[in-house]
Every structure is written in structure tokens, then in C-alpha cells.
Amino acid sequence: MKKIIELLIQGSPKQAFKDLWAASFSLTLGGLISSIMTGLDAIYLSHLSPNALNAITISSPYIGIVMSISAGLGTAISNSISRSTKSHHLRKELFASMTLTSIAMVVIGFLSYYSVEFIINSVGLHEDKSLKPILPYFEDYWYYLIPGQLLLVMFTVLLQILVAFGDTKINLILFKVCCINIILNPIFIFGLKFGCKGAALSTDLAYLFGVTFCLFNSKKYLRFKKIKYSSLILPAIYRQTKTAIVVFVGMGIWSVYGVLFNGLAASQGAAVLFAIGIYDQIQSFFATLTRGICGGFLVVFNKTLSERLYSNYVPIFVCSIVVVQFIFLIGWAISLFFPNYFKSAYGINESVLSIELATFLKFGAWLLFISGIPRISQIGFLSLDKSWLFALNSFVMIILGYCISFFLTDIISFSAIPVGQVSAHIICDIVFVPSFIFLLVKRIKKDSVSYIHR
């Protein structure tokens, strides 16, 4: 710890913050817009019917899998672009990225269409009478959202390519996508009375326009006519696949987390499923905001590690923590001190729902409060070539959280769900955060010796 403090003082936190801002601003803005789009869907549909919001809650973990695949592909191409020094190498990396993206879209489309029965059975929509009214809302939303899921993958990858090349039109593209969704949502849901179909269609069209805008701006980078097969293409595909899988496992495992806890909530009744749906929306909103910071940290930290500028390792790490923790503290304050805002936004009047939501918000606030440092340290494992620790951190937290919640359900009812999540988070933080700091100090010592002997 003494070494960490010394390097923080010796380094340049101001420059680290500037580098982090430059690398993560567009990604953070994209996360904000994605959060707004998802949040508006949830708010509109909760006013349409609690069952409509429950349909989104059931869908969310599986949509999260698609988002994790998108994030993995985006991270892979971002890393490849930042490490490519020759133009012909860069073209092959881009070609490899588009190949992987196309394959991913085909697989996602196939699995999305044929996984409906599996999703329905995972929460018992056919079995529980209180959950059966959710079924038509879910089917409407899910089937109409499949094109949007495919477009999301392409949009994320193209956006990441533009970010990596420093394109200045990214923010405008994101703003347009958000505006299209905001305008179409109420028209389709309430004006044309499409309900859940309308929410899905507005998302589909927003991402369609987003892909179109991105293709128009990225066509100068995606010129493959003159590209020829060489031994460089397969290694590029392998490297990107490896990175994408690691990120997907680390992030996608949280979708398994959602599936498990949705099943646990559904076993407590539709009211608890409704409450956990709002709770998840709030958690997801702030988590999505921080993904941009995490992505920026990964890019800047990787670049600094490759240059062996060991004096900047700690400032970048600390600045990333400060920014992420600040975002989570906003969520903590809103959830803890302004719970009535969410009740009003989602149109909750029933006293039972109010009690359940208040319980989830209280524990959710503290979950946000303790999430800053572990989120950045977990991403840092990727940069230090300890991807297995990245995945292990998520895996242990999920299994531990579910087991605690499952065994406490008979004792404290639905409160067991957030209690289990917070308890698992604290236990994993105690183990994995010091592990990252130990590895970081070890890397600093190694690179400082190499730097001196240059």
C-alpha cells in the first residue's frame, strides 16, 4: 500500500484523468443513452401494465448476454486497433472483427428464436397462475426484439471502431439514436397501441438508424476489396476471439446471475418479480454508465503497460476508481434518499409493492456504494494477463450470492435476494481487490527494474 501511495504522488493524476476522459467519454455517453432507452421502455411499460414490465424483467438477462457478446467483440477490436502499427495489419484486424461479428449475429439470431420455451420454463410462466398473464407480453416483446439484438451487436462493434480511430461524429450518432428511440417509444406503445411490440419496434428502428449512421462514417476504414488472405488473418481472428470470450464470460456470467435471481423472485410471486425488475433497472442504469469508464481504463491501462510507464499505473487506476465510485455514489444517494421518485416514475400505488420496492432499493443503494473499487480492479485483471481471475471473481460472487439468498428465503422471504447479493459482494471484495493490488505492485516492481536497465 505504501508503494501505491508513493507512485500516486510521483505520477500525474491530472494527465491520467485527461487520458481516461478521452478514451471513455464516447463509451460512457453510449452507455448513458443505452440506459435511457432501456429505462424509458421500463417506465412506459410499467404504466401500461405491471405484467409488461415483468416481461422486460424476464427478458433482461438474455438481452444482457447479447450485450456481453457485443462488449466482447467491441473490446477485442479496440485492443487490436490500439496495438496495430502497420496499415495492412490494421485492415486484417478489421476484417477479422467483421467476420466474427457476422458469425455472432447468425448464432444470436438462431438462439434467440429457438430459446423462447427455455426462457418461459426458467421462470415457470406456464406453471404459476400468478405469472401466466405475463406470457403474452413476454412473447410479443421477445420476438419483435430479435432484429434489435442483432443490430445492437453490429452497432456496438462499428461504434467501437469509430471510437478507436478517434472519430468526432460518435456523440452525434449516439444522440440521434437516443432521440429516435425517445420519439418512437410513446408513439408505438400508446399512440398506435402496440404495447410491448411497440417498445421492441422502437428499439429495433433506433439501432437500425444507428448502424446506418455508423456504416456511413466507418466506410473509409472498412475497405476490404484489396485485402488478400494471409497467415495474419487467422491469428487476428484467434486473438480477437480469445479477448471476446474472456470479456463475454466475465460480463455474460452476470446474465446467469439475472436468470437465477429472476427465478428466485418469481417463486415469491409476481409482485416480487415486479419489484426486482425495477431494482435491476436502477442497478443496470448505473452499471451501464460505468462500462464506458471501464472500457476507457482498459484501453489507457493497456497502452501504459505496453510502454512500461510504471509511474502512471497507479494514477490511472485511482482516477478510474474515483470516477466510477462517483457515479455509483449518485445512484446510492438517489436510491437511499429519494425512493418515492421511483415509485412515482413507475406508477406504484399498491402498499405491498411499495414495501417490497423499498426493501430492494435500500439494499440496492448499499450494493452501489461498495461497487466502485472492485469493478475497476476486476477489469484490471485482464490487463495484467490474469483473465482467469476476472472470470473467477464474477463466478464466485454469483454462486455465493445465489446460495446465500436461496438458503435465507425461508427465513426472511424476498429480502433474502438483496441480502445475498450484498453479502457476496463484500466477501469477494475482501478477497479479490487485495489480490489485484498485490499483482499491480508486483508488475510495477518488474517494469521499474526493466526501465532502469534500458
Tell which wins on pLDDT, 155 or 361.
155
Q: Which of 302, 74, 98 is nearest to 219 (CA)?
A: 98
Domain membership flag for residue 151: yes
Domain membership flag for residue 10: yes
| pLDDT tops 80 at residue 141 | yes
- Per-residue pLDDT, averaged over 268-274, amounts to 80
Domain membership flag for residue 360: yes
Domain membership flag for residue 454: no
Domain membership flag for residue 150: yes
Each residue's pLDDT tens digit, 427-449? 988 998 899 888 888 888 887 76
Range(s) of the domain holding residue 340: 2-448
Number of domains the chain contains: 1
Identify the pLDDT of residue 198. 92
Tell which wins on pLDDT, 348 or 240.
240
- Per-residue pLDDT, averaged over 269-295, amounts to 79
Domain membership flag for residue 6: yes
Domain membership flag for residue 453: no
- For the whole model, what pTM was predicted? 0.78
- Per-residue pLDDT, averaged over 312-334, amounts to 84
Domain membership flag for residue 436: yes
